[in-house]
Amino acid sequence: MSNTIAVLGSINVDTTYHVERFPQPGETLSARDKSSAPGGKGCNQSVACARSGAKTYFIGMVGADNEGKFMREAMQEDHIDTSHIGIDELHGTGTALVTLDANGQNDIMVYGGANQAMTTDVLKNCGPVFDDIDILIAQFETPQAVTLAAFKEAKKHNVVTILNPAPAHKIIPELLQYTDLIAPNESESALITGIEINDEAGMKKTAEYFKKEGIDNLLITLGSRGVFYSTASGQGLVPAFKVKAVDTTAAGDTFIGAFASQLKTDLSNVVEALTFGQRASSLAVQKMGAAPSIPSYDEVKAALAEK
């Protein structure tokens, strides 16, 4: 049975330019195509949670504009509770400009807008949410001060907190004290800790670093190599599924949301949940777009059943 999850985070409208290769500095290239779709790390993760079967709430902000209306309606189509998405009258809805090359790799420029203007006021009236949820997920496309306040409240309700520190920033030390599980990718991990993830020794050293900071549970996503995990019950590497990627946008977000949807709150099934998340991510990268590429629970289970 899936969890009940709240995602605190960013909401963006993604505009993707499809190119053969990335431009050099000062160079102008023609795009083969252009498309727009729902995105933002928070939104993507909530969609992955919902499509993986979790009852899902979203806590965030959009602007008083057409993009904000579009995003709320898109999330509601995935049965995400959007009643705690506030309206910012002064800042526009977040947007992202994605450049996607022929190999499925991307680079992304983000305008934070209402996401970055968010304050702790967004948490008002969220008491019933914290009463209902098993897990709270947050990222770094919204202010850390809001995440800290939300994690503090979550711990009062015995909610498991998952921090996806992306994009990597210096972390408010107090935030780590309220984080049950931290899930960076390998480059984010290195930026935060100063420890390069070149081998298993580096991964274990990183786990010790976070334990000293008060976090006993760590995931490091390693792209095609899989995911390293370290919990109270053990450490290990869950391999990735080998597929041909056409668009890696939202691959990590799909993994986080799908993983969280299946994770028991005592983390006793971490390998099983990681495998589910990895399979969901492998399906997402075979389709175009951020939220549109995220698979359903049935699609993931069918793919897992394949030999």
Is 28 labelled a binding residue? no
Is 68 labelled a binding residue? no
Which tokens sit at 277? 């998340």
Going along the chain from its start, the domains and CATH numbers come out as 4-11+41-84+117-305 (3.40.1190.20)
Q: What number is the average pLDDT over the span 112-138?
A: 97
Contact status, residue 158 vs residue 101, Cβ threshold 8 Å? no
- Cα distances from 46 to residues 10, 20, 36, 149, 261, in angstroms, run 10, 31, 19, 20, 10
77-121 confidence digits (pLDDT tens): 999 999 999 999 999 999 989 898 998 888 888 899 999 999 999
Name the phi and psi angles at 16, rounded to 5: -110, 130
Is 14 labelled a binding residue? yes
**Cα–Cα distance measured from residue 136 to residue 196, given in angstroms and rounded to the nearest whole number:** 28
pLDDT band at residue 245 using 50, 70 and 90 as cut-offs = confident
Confidence (pTM) = 0.92
Quote the DSSP letter at residue 224. Answer: G
**Cα–Cα distance measured from residue 111 to residue 229, given in angstroms and rounded to the nearest whole number:** 32
Is 301 labelled a binding residue? no
In terms of DSSP bridges, do strands 55-63 and 81-88 run parallel, antiparallel, or are they unpaired?
parallel
- Cα distances from 290 to residues 80, 96, 200, 230, in angstroms, run 16, 11, 31, 28
**Cα–Cα distance measured from residue 220 to residue 203, given in angstroms and rounded to the nearest whole number:** 8
Is 123 labelled a binding residue? no
Is 40 labelled a binding residue? yes
pLDDT band at residue 247 using 50, 70 and 90 as cut-offs = confident
Is 267 labelled a binding residue? no
Cis peptide before 167 (omega within 30 of 0): yes
* β-sheet bridge partners, residue 236: 229
Q: Which residues are catalytic?
A: 253
Q: For 238-276, b where at least 16 C-beta lie within 10 A, e where not — what string? A: bebbeeebebbbbbbbbbbbbbbbbbeeebeebeebbbb
- pLDDT at position 54, please? 98
Q: What number is the average pLDDT over the span 148-164?
A: 98
Task: Collapse the DSSP code of 34 into the 3-class scheme (helix H, G, I; strand E, B; otherwise coil) and give the result.
Answer: strand
Higher-pLDDT residue of 117, 224: 117
Contact status, residue 276 vs residue 227, Cβ threshold 8 Å? no
Name the phi and psi angles at 265, rounded to 5: -65, -15
**Which is nearest to 32 in space by CA: 15, 49, 20?**
20
